[in-house]
Chains A and B, each alone.
Chain A
Amino acid sequence: MEVAIRVDNIGKRYRIGQTASYKTLRDVVMNTVTKPFRPRAEKSSDFSHIWALRNISFEVGRGEVIGIIGGNGAGKSTILKILSRITEPSEGQAELYGRVSSLLEVGVGFHPELTGRENIYFNGAVLGMKRTEVMRKFNDIVDFSEIGQFLDTPVKHYSSGMYVRLAFSVAAHLDPDVLIVDEVLAVGDLAFQKKCLGKMNAVAGGGRTVFFVSHNLDAVRALCPRTILLNHGRMQKDGRTADVIDLYLKEENLTAASLTEPKSP
């Protein structure tokens, strides 16, 4: 098997409080000044860490379509961000072979004041397409998006459906070897969602590797033969989609049951 993605013992540690809020210089000064007067326990908690993700290792073969599922806080977004090179891991290593595109949100960088045409070019560049490539695919992108006559209207006048269709069309015409996708399918009306799913299937069928993160279990079932279940930052199961989803649902039900169960005294 030719490997497309190799993830080796990846972990990501966040410092609690680090992401909390905007700091101003005043806060830093105040913290430094008041630190000696605070109780010891509080002081040490300033430096506590949590592992959002730990000991994650797996390999994805070329042309394989793999799903990642898990509850909230399982670490799905973190692994996405690491593989997309948006945030760096605290430990471990990952290798991605071939041209990589990641799609964490449709229409990243869309500017409301720019027209549809202008946004196609800008968004294409943001997603890593060359200008000549966008020019070559321009007509396909416009056709797929069904926005034709509004091409030269600023997108701030678009309906949200049109906006999303245009954004997805640009993304759908990326031509990567490895595609990393977040829940971008949960957009647009039902008909367009079907169309997107079809496009995704075509992408997957075309020998490309797809790394698909989703809450939508039906979409995962439809697209991915293999799935990884994350739970509190650890890999809980890696296997056939049907088995993994069964396990996930069983656990969800258990949690749900324990929540609704009346507490015994």
Chain B
Amino acid sequence: MSASLINDQPGLERSVTVIRPSRGWVSVDLRELWQYRELLYFLTWRDVKVRYKQTIIGFAWAILQPVFMMIVFSLFFGILANIPSGNVPYPLFTYAALLPWMLFSNGLNRASLSLVADANLIQKVYFPRMLLPISGILSPLIDFAIAFVVLIGLMFYFGFLPGFNILWVLVFLLLELMLAAGLGLWLAAINVEYRDIAYAIPFLLQLVLFASPVIYSSSFVPPRYQVIYGLLNPMAGIIEGLRWAILGTDPPGVLVFASAGIIIFVLISGVYYFKRREKLFADVV
């Protein structure tokens, strides 16, 4: 939809909204997204508020899920299969990877289903539709922050004090959110028309978990395949990068650059695909 809001201030008179059919490629209106930032906040806030309603242990779920996965992985892959984790104790090694993984998979899942879940909003109110998948990406950050406290506890317990490299965590988290947003925009837009996405996602995410260096190190993949690995699974670069920043494992090198490149591509293409399909959402969803 091509509509422009010249100003939105109640005090300033005569802003004008123009409505006409859109043609071809539609540009992304960053100004408008900024104007709607409060709605983004409230959408995310609602998601967080509602998530653990009517549960007994509430936000403890944010800790229980990764901790239990860590225990199971440590038992089967760390002790029984004896997968090497360098000089890092296996529980810490896998927990540091599980957190970004869960952030990614929860965010992507929510984002993909967001348009259909809020179909009623789409059919009754105007706002930039992009806010829905983006809020789906952002709301699991709360769970991530809560589970991160446990990570800090584990680090103290095993005597791993982070260096200055810990600041890189922010860069890798940003990359991860960009990846989740790019994929989320693609899948959310497709899911409006083809509900297959809703069935495919949980299953695909499970496959990608095992294709990501969560239970093993990316050095399992031979050096000459590292670039291809990073391109095919951008989460690999992110997870190894975070592990390096937090635990001081071997720096992941070329893997990260391959992943970062593909992430930027996924994000830009996702935004444009979404914008192109956006006008059909209200009629189709």
Binding site for B on A (CB under 8 A): 14, 18-19, 22-25, 28, 81-100, 102, 104-105, 108-109, 111, 113-114, 118, 121-122, 125-128, 130-131, 175
A102 B125 Cβ-Cβ under 8 A: yes
**Residues of chain B lying within 8 A (CB to CB) of residue A91:** 21
Alpha-carbon distance A258/B195, docked complex (angstroms): 44
**Residues of chain B lying within 8 A (CB to CB) of residue A99:** 8, 10, 15
Q: Which residue of B lies closest to A2 (CB)?
A: B14
Alpha-carbon distance A23/B194, docked complex (angstroms): 6
Interface of B is mostly: mixed
Q: How many chain B residues touch A (Cβ–Cβ < 8 Å)?
A: 42
- How many residue pairs link A and B with beta carbons under 8 A? The number is 115
Q: Which residue of B lies closest to A115 (CB)?
A: B49
Q: Quick one: CB contact mask for B13-26 with A, threshold 8 Å, 1 for yes?
A: 11111111110000
Q: Which of A28, A113, A126 contacts B39 (CB 8 A)?
A: A126
Known contacts A18-B283, A111-B50; A84/B125 CB under 8 A: yes
B42 A121 Cβ-Cβ under 8 A: yes
Task: Give the 3 A-B residue pairs with the shortest CB-CB distance, closest first.
Answer: A85-B126, A125-B42, A94-B19
B124 A131 Cβ-Cβ under 8 A: no
A88 B122 Cβ-Cβ under 8 A: no
A95 B46 Cβ-Cβ under 8 A: no
Alpha-carbon distance A125/B38, docked complex (angstroms): 7
Known contacts A85-B1, A85-B19; A114/B125 CB under 8 A: no
B224 beta carbon closer than 8 Å to chain A = no
Give chain A nearest CB distance to B282 CB in angstroms: 5
Alpha-carbon distance A90/B8, docked complex (angstroms): 26
Alpha-carbon distance A87/B50, docked complex (angstroms): 29
Give chain B nearest CB distance to A32 CB in angstroms: 14
B21 A88 Cβ-Cβ under 8 A: yes
B39 A98 Cβ-Cβ under 8 A: no
Alpha-carbon distance A112/B271, docked complex (angstroms): 32
Beyond the given pairs A83-B19, A95-B17, A104-B123, 7 more chain A to chain B contacts, judged by CB atoms under 8 angstroms and listed by A's residue number, are A87-B283, A97-B17, A98-B13, A98-B14, A109-B118, A109-B125, A111-B50
